[in-house]
């Protein structure tokens, strides 16, 4: 006796539009950075321009994947296309890790031979960078999907990076501490690598169908046993399709005296309990005593 309960949560269909807006903002600012980097002779700004160019490619890919992920389930993809957004998230993060390695190399070279930087002009570009990237973060910061989260992290990194550049450019302008330019580049790259690797790790745990972060499987199992008439719970699997939607399947063995009324009651209670735990798609099989002997 099986049942499917799938009250899918509402998902904002504006996530792809948010990503597209972030793409155009990022692309516009890349040209500002390239001009500003050469004009100020700042490797920190030029490094961020290269990084933002990589961001543009990644965000453009994220937009395509986000659109694709919204396609309805069909005979080929019976669960739908939601995991395409995970493909984008991991690709985006990997690209940024690679670009950051080049930034680190360039920053180390610049630290060895500090060069004069136009601190005043650098300060103006930094203010502009904080504003433009701040707008992009505001647009995407409420995203819940792995794809939109990955984009939002990149944009947040841009804002923090530009805040650092703002402070550094003020110090360069005031004290002529040109070595700060290289240090800023290293800080930006380090922040990006740490957060991108974290995103990659999170996506892999989803793809490997690890139980969702924060979901207490043991507590869920114990509460299922508290339902009157449940003798055993087995073949219990809890996973996430895309980092947002929690899914589960399980077998429930009932006592020999149970009848159809008991089956319906137990099924309804299992569904209600599962919903309380945040499970949005549930598959339950009710087994008579001895009907399913194989255990997990």
Q: What's the rounded mean pLDDT across residues 236-254?
A: 91
Taking only the tens place, the pLDDT of each residue in 133-157 is: 788 778 776 665 666 666 777 677 7
* Top-tier CATH class for 9-207: mainly alpha
Angle at 44 between CA 33 and CA 180, to 5 degrees: 145
Residue 180 to residues 81, 95, 109, 147, 198, Cα–Cα distance (Å):
46, 26, 13, 33, 27
CA torsion angle 113 116 117 119 (round to 10): 130
Within 13 Å of residue 209, how many CA atoms lie on the same side as its CB?
7
CATH 3.30.70.1350 domain extents, the chain: 217-287
Taking only the tens place, the pLDDT of each residue in 6-48 is: 444 444 445 677 778 878 887 888 888 888 888 888 877 877 7
Taking only the tens place, the pLDDT of each residue in 176-189 is: 888 887 788 788 77
In 3-state terms, what secondary structure has residue 113? coil
* pLDDT at position 99 over 60: yes
What are the residues facing 249 on neighbouring strands? 237, 283
The answer to whether residues 268 and 227 touch, using CB atoms and an 8 Å cutoff, is no
State in Å, rounded, how far the first CA of the chain is from the last one. 19
* pLDDT at position 64 over 90: no
Picking from 269, 263, 287, the residue whose alpha carbon sits closest to that of residue 226 is 269
259's CB contacts (< 8 A; 6+ apart) are none
Q: In terms of pTM, does the model score above 0.75?
A: no
Q: What is the mean pLDDT of the chain?
A: 80
Residue 57 to residues 95, 110, 146, 162, 166, Cα–Cα distance (Å):
9, 26, 17, 20, 26
**DSSP characters over 232-249:** EEEEEEEEESSSS-EEEE
173's CB contacts (< 8 A; 6+ apart) are 119, 120, 122, 123
217-287 is classed in which CATH architecture? Answer: 2-Layer Sandwich (3.30)
Picking from 231, 219, 234, the residue whose alpha carbon sits closest to that of residue 274 is 219
* pLDDT at position 216 over 90: yes
The answer to whether residues 106 and 263 touch, using CB atoms and an 8 Å cutoff, is no
CATH 1.20.1510.10 domain extents, the chain: 9-207
Overall residue count recorded for the chain in this entry: 296
Rg for the chain (alpha carbons), in Å? 25
Question: Distance (Å, rounded) from C-alpha 265 to C-alpha 4?
Answer: 15
């Amino acid at each position: 006796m099986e049942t499917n309960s799938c009250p899918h949560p509402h998902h904002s269909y504006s996530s792809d539009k948010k990503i597209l807006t972030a793409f155009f903002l990022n692309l516009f600012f890349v040209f500002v950075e390239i001009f500003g980097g050469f004009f100020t002779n700042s490797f920190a700004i030029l490094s961020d321009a290269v990084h933002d160019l990589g961001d543009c490619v990644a965000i453009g890919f994220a937009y395509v994947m986000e659109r694709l992920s919204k396609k309805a389930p069909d005979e080929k993809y019976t669960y739908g296309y939601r995991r395409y957004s995970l493909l984008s998230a991991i690709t985006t993060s990997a690209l940024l890790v690679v670009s950051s390695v080049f930034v680190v190399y360039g920053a180390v070279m610049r630290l060895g031979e500090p060069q004069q930087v136009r601190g005043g002009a650098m300060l103006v570009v930094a203010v502009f960078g904080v504003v433009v990237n701040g707008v992009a973060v505001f647009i995407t910061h409420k995203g819940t999907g792995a794809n939109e989260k990955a984009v939002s992290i990149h944009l947040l990194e841009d804002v923090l990076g530009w805040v650092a550049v703002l402070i550094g450019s003020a110090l360069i302008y005031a004290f002529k501490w040109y070595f700060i330019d290289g240090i800023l580049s290293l800080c930006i790259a380090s922040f990006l690598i740490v957060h991108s690797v974290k995103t990659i790790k999170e996506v892999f745990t989803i793809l490997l169908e690890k139980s969702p972060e924060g979901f207490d499987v043991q507590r869920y199992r114990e509460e299922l046993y508290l339902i009157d008439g449940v003798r055993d719970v087995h073949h219990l699997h809890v996973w996430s399709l895309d980092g947002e939607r929690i899914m589960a399947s399980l077998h429930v063995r009932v006592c020999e005296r149970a009848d159809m009324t008991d089956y319906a009651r137990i099924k309804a209670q299992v569904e209600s309990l599962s919903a309380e735990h945040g499970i949005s798609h549930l598959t339950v099989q009710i087994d008579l005593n001895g009907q399913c002997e194989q255990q997990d």
